[in-house]
Chains A and B, each alone.
Chain A
Amino acid sequence: MSMFRAKKLDLGCFVNTKIMRDHTKRKVFAENEAERQALRYIIHNTTLPARARAQAQLQLSQMHCYTRPTQIRNRCILGGKGRGVLRDFKLSRFQFRMNALAGNLPGVKKASW
């Protein structure tokens, strides 16, 4: 959503619409994490009055979808690909292969056993 997006580009890696979107989502989630957790706590706490819990539920469901952690998806920092991204390197599988063969990834070698 454009309202959350930074006015100026605040990314240094490969830039792509999807990467920018993901970056914004991460920032929005980080901002609202405490609030989300508080609401979640109220909802899960059975000792609290039912009314308060119901209100918290409503509030949580009405928060923007960008504040949800499930919206975040790891993307390749070199190609912006969203699938087949290796967590250890933040690279998609083909980028990983190219860089590993080029020797850019310390310690990664071709394996045979």
Chain B
Amino acid sequence: MATPSYARSLIHLTKRLRLSPPAKAITQCQIRDLSSTPQRRAEAEISPRQAEKELLSVRLPRAVQAAYLTPLRREATTKNPVCDLQLRSYSVRNLEAYADFAMRAAYYLNLPAKGPIPLPKITQRWTVPRSNFVFKKSQENFERITLKRLIQIQDGHPEVVAIWLAFLKKHPYYGIGMKANVYEHTDLDPLKDLEGEAERIKKQLGEELDALDRLALGKDSSEKQIKAKEPTVEKATPTIEKAAKTKQAKADLEAETSSTDKLAVASSKESEAKSFEADEKITPAVAS
């Protein structure tokens, strides 16, 4: 590769593809000198060949260098498939390039992805007569080959997977179709899980929940009482205040969960796992 990195076209970013020979790019380097005197300028002037050599010797930033190498991948702790993404296209180049992109995106989102697995091709063939009318003896064959690649996310939080899918959807590539199967894993005994959740919610909310119940039950009766007697109104008001408190508590919980979600995306693997645990604890409480 004699051409400097900036002159290479974007398609060569996926260097391992090697689908076409690298194009020879014309390199002309003009290095500006800020000093005004012509003497110094003459001294500072560098021949383009030399500049090229020096440019080649400069190491690229690691993140850019990574773009020229095979995509990195995370190790999956458990082998549970969370998402199956299928990419389909009629052209290998586009498909390979995009699969590469998807793998990189998964890496930077801390998602352990199992590499682009080539799936069996779909070959459709049509035979039609060459002429518009009769003359069946001379015919022509046409075909369309659909290529498929599978990327499997093996272990990751469903929300991060959703972010990954959204990112891929936001940056589509021409001539590529995508289809994703997303799997959810739960305990074998969901009832037990739900009961535990209910217990925890009771503990967290405590009296306030009781107040809410009372309010819900006593709504009809209290209305009647208000009609009958005036002083009962004073009794009813504190319960309403309590209910408002519980609402606020719920809102706080929601805010907490959203903040942890954001953390999960940004933070490293370890902290991610922690926040996920926290998520799992909190989200059902909000839902119920």
Contacts and interface: CB of A to CB of B under 8 A. Distances in A.
Interface of A: 84, 86, 88, 93-94, 96-97, 100, 105-112
A94 B91 CA distance: 25
Give the one of B90, B132, B141, B146 with max A CB within 10 A. B132
Contacts of B143: 108-111
A94 B128 CA distance: 7
A107 B128 contact: no
A77 B90 CA distance: 24
B124 interface: yes
15 contacts: A88-B124, A96-B126, A97-B140, A97-B142, A106-B90, A107-B91, A107-B146, A109-B142, A109-B143, A109-B144, A110-B142, A110-B143, A111-B125, A111-B143, A112-B141
Contacts, number: 40
Interface of B: 90-91, 124-126, 128-132, 140-146, 175
A97 B128 contact: yes
Given A88-B124, A96-B128, A97-B128, A107 B90 contact: yes
Nearest to B174: A106
B141 A93 contact: no
Given A106-B175, A107-B90, A86 B126 contact: yes
